[in-house]
């Protein structure tokens, strides 16, 4: 979740429009499931959850705010806490504005290691970092400068996620990430896609992993990105391809290297194209959206006061993915709501999966971010070439939210899971506004369960 809304009050105070013209709305009522869905589990928290990760029976989540309280938490046996207010273990408080928690490949440090990426633009939160920790021992190591640990002078970059790839082809996994230096929701001061070279041991205060900036032409990496392997045109070799969903740049960019061995040490061989410039890109994922065996780029763009947010899929209609004309955009939904308050936007990230096990084609669920809703986009046909979807809301934090809303309501990073293993997909919702982790289950047309 890219989270501007916590700054809403500050942004509203900027005299770009008169705050007196914004009517403060009464808080509406929650709609705990609709269009075939209902809330069946609610775990009350002391803090607003943003990102989460399920690890066996445990649930990790991050919480952040403008004020104090940033932390990484864990709830053990979390499913058994439905309907309760469990005492969450506070694992780490060192990270300002902690974002994604991700599993670290076992090839790195063995089992049960996770990464946390942190930081965002508010003044006291912008010295972010990436760290890894072991879930059993809670041993923790910083992977980058930042987070105010001792490592000398460095710019205050913030980080949202990492991926692990062997960038220099020496047989070990290196850490790929995007970072951004910024002091507001405006053009960044610096933004970089880069990788840290694995030297065989944990980085330390005096011996960090070597940084390698990726020097592709456009360099619009700021918050989210994703990676996949595509066949090098004219060969049978696969190579790493990075999709960057540029929020500030409003560009969807693809980045690769022309090096025949896919060795990213040679910066002169880095290349990129702009696939599209359809809005403030939020999340992006390489995913086989239509079930034809080929990956598309699934992405969202965040709304602004004069432009709606959108859910797009970009499919490849030629073997040469290096040509922007080879990518064809399918508009899944383009009417995510606008807000007068520039601190609010919609949608956020998404989750994919079949509604029931055995179905042919996947449904897409999208977090409405600051509109407090969860949306469901169901394909109207099993045919892969059909890109028409039906969109309905399946959850609302506040049924009264609208364009002039001053307070907003925020949904974090949702997940499609099957927590009770009954073959029906359930949606895990970190409800930032309600301080709750919520499970939404399918319940048939009438929702009588
Ligand atoms: Ca390597
Ligand atoms: Ca190495
Ligand atoms: Ca596909
Ligand atoms: Ca289920």
Choice among 69-73, 110-114, 149-153 with the minimum mean pLDDT: 149-153
CA of 229 to the centre of ligand 1 (A): 16
Q: What pLDDT is recorded for position 152?
A: 73
Mean pLDDT of 184-201: 88
CA of 373 to the centre of ligand 4 (A): 20
**Is a pLDDT exceeding 90 seen at residue 2?**
no
Q: Report residue 7's pLDDT band, with 50, 70 and 90 as the boundaries.
A: very low
State both tokens at 391: 């969109």
Cis peptide before 347 (omega within 30 of 0): yes
Q: What pLDDT is recorded for position 104?
A: 98
CA of 138 to the centre of ligand 4 (A): 31
CA of 201 to the centre of ligand 2 (A): 9
Q: What pLDDT is recorded for position 446?
A: 65
Ion ligand 2: residue ranges with CB closer than 5 A: 170, 172, 198
* Cα pseudo-dihedral 438, 444, 447, 449, rounded to 10: -80
The whole-chain average pLDDT of the chain stands at: 91
CA of 419 to the centre of ligand 4 (A): 6
Mean pLDDT of 395-399: 96
Distance, in Å, from the CA atom of 228 to the CA atom of 295, rounded to the nearest integer, reads 9
Q: Report residue 127's pLDDT band, with 50, 70 and 90 as the boundaries.
A: very high
Q: What pLDDT is recorded for position 12?
A: 33
Mean pLDDT of 244-248: 94
Whose structure tokens read 């307070």? 407
- Paired residues of 302 in beta bridges: 280
CA of 171 to the centre of ligand 1 (A): 5
Q: What pLDDT is recorded for position 185?
A: 61
**Is a pLDDT exceeding 90 seen at residue 21?**
no
CA of 212 to the centre of ligand 2 (A): 12
Mean pLDDT of 382-395: 97
Mean pLDDT of 20-27: 46
Distance, in Å, from the CA atom of 208 to the CA atom of 201, rounded to the nearest integer, reads 10
Q: What pLDDT is recorded for position 448?
A: 60
275 burial type by CB count under 10 A (0-12 exposed, 13-18 middle, 19+ buried)? buried
Mean pLDDT of 65-82: 95
CA of 264 to the centre of ligand 1 (A): 10
Q: What pLDDT is recorded for position 153?
A: 78
Length of the chain: 449
Closest CA to 251 of 165, 346, 324: 324
Q: Report residue 444's pLDDT band, with 50, 70 and 90 as the boundaries.
A: confident
**Is a pLDDT exceeding 80 seen at residue 221?**
yes
Query: pTM (2 decimals)?
Result: 0.93
**Is a pLDDT exceeding 70 seen at residue 255?**
yes
The 224-231 sheet, strands edge to edge:
224-231, 238-246, 251-257, 270-276
Distance, in Å, from the CA atom of 40 to the CA atom of 42, rounded to the nearest integer, reads 7
Q: Residue 52 in contact with residue 413, Cβ under 8 Å?
A: yes
Residue of higher predicted confidence among 414 and 12 = 414
Q: Report residue 69's pLDDT band, with 50, 70 and 90 as the boundaries.
A: very high
Instruction: Give the number of the ligand closest to the Cα of residue 240.
Output: 1
Q: What pLDDT is recorded for position 218?
A: 78
* H or E element that contains 43: strand 37-44
CA of 176 to the centre of ligand 1 (A): 11
For residue 85, give the 3-state DSSP assignment.
coil
Contacts of 257 (CB under 8 A, 6+ apart): 239, 240, 263, 264, 266, 269, 270, 271
Instruction: Give the number of the ligand closest to the Cα of residue 169.
Output: 1
Q: What pLDDT is recorded for position 449?
A: 55
Q: Residue 384 in contact with residue 424, Cβ under 8 Å?
A: no
Q: What pLDDT is recorded for position 189?
A: 86
CA distances from 429 to 91, 95, 228, 265 (A): 21, 23, 27, 40
Q: What pLDDT is recorded for position 11?
A: 37
Instruction: Give the number of the ligand closest to the Cα of residue 291.
Output: 3
Q: What pLDDT is recorded for position 122?
A: 86
CA of 15 to the centre of ligand 1 (A): 50
Mean pLDDT of 146-174: 92
State both tokens at 230: 């595509």
CA distances from 351 to 75, 326, 365, 375, 433 (A): 22, 25, 5, 10, 20
What totals of helices (H) and strands (E) does the chain contain, helices first? 2, 28
């Amino acid at each position: 979740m890219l989270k501007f809304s916590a700054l809403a009050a500050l942004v509203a105070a900027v005299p770009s429009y008169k705050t007196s013209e914004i009517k403060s709305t009464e808080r509406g009522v929650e709609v705990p499931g609709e269009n075939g869905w209902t809330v069946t589990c609610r775990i009350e928290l002391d803090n607003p959850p943003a990102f989460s990760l399920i690890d066996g029976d445990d649930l990790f989540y991050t919480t952040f705010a403008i004020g104090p309280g940033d932390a990484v938490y864990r709830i053990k046996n979390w499913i058994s806490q439905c309907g309760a207010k469990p005492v969450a273990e506070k694992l780490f408080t060192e990270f300002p504005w902690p974002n994604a928690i991700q599993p670290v490949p076992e090839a790195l440090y063995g089992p049960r290691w996770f990464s946390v990426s942190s930081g965002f633009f508010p003044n006291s939160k912008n010295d972010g970092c990436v760290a890894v920790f072991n879930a059993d021992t809670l041993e923790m190591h910083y992977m980058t400068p930042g987070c105010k640990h001792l490592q000398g002078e460095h710019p205050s970059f913030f980080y949202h996620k990492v991926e692990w790839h062997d960038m220099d082809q020496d047989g070990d996994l290196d850490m790929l990430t995007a970072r951004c230096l910024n002091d507001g929701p405006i053009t960044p001061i610096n933004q970089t896609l880069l990788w840290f070279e694995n030297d065989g041991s944990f980085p330390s205060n005096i011996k960090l992993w070597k940084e390698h900036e990726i020097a592709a032409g456009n360099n619009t990496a700021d918050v989210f990105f994703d990676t996949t392997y595509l066949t090098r045109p004219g060969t049978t070799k696969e190579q790493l391809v990075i999709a960057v969903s540029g929020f500030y740049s409003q560009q969807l960019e693809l980045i690769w290297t022309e090096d025949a061995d896919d060795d990213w040490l040679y910066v002169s061989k880095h290349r990129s194209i702009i696939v599209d410039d359809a809005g403030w890109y939020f999340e992006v994922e390489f995913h086989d959206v239509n079930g034809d065996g080929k990956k598309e780029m699934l992405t969202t763009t965040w709304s602004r006061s004069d432009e709606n947010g959108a859910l797009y899929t970009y499919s490849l209609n030629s073997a040469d993915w290096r040509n922007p004309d080879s990518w064809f955009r399918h508009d899944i939904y383009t009417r995510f709501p606008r807000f007068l308050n520039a601190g609010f936007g919609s949608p956020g990230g998404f989750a994919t999966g079949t509604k029931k096990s055995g179905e042919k084609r996947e449904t897409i669920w999208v977090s409405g971010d600051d509109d407090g809703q969860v949306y469901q986009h169901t394909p109207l046909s099993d045919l892969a070439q059909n890109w028409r979807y039906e969109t309905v809301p399946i959850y609302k934090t506040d049924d009264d939210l609208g364009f002039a809303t001053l307070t907003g309501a925020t949904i974090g990073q949702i997940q499609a899971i099957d927590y009770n293993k009954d073959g029906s997909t359930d949606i895990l919702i970190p409800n930032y506004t309600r301080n709750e982790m919520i499970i939404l289950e399918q319940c048939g047309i009438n929702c009588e369960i």
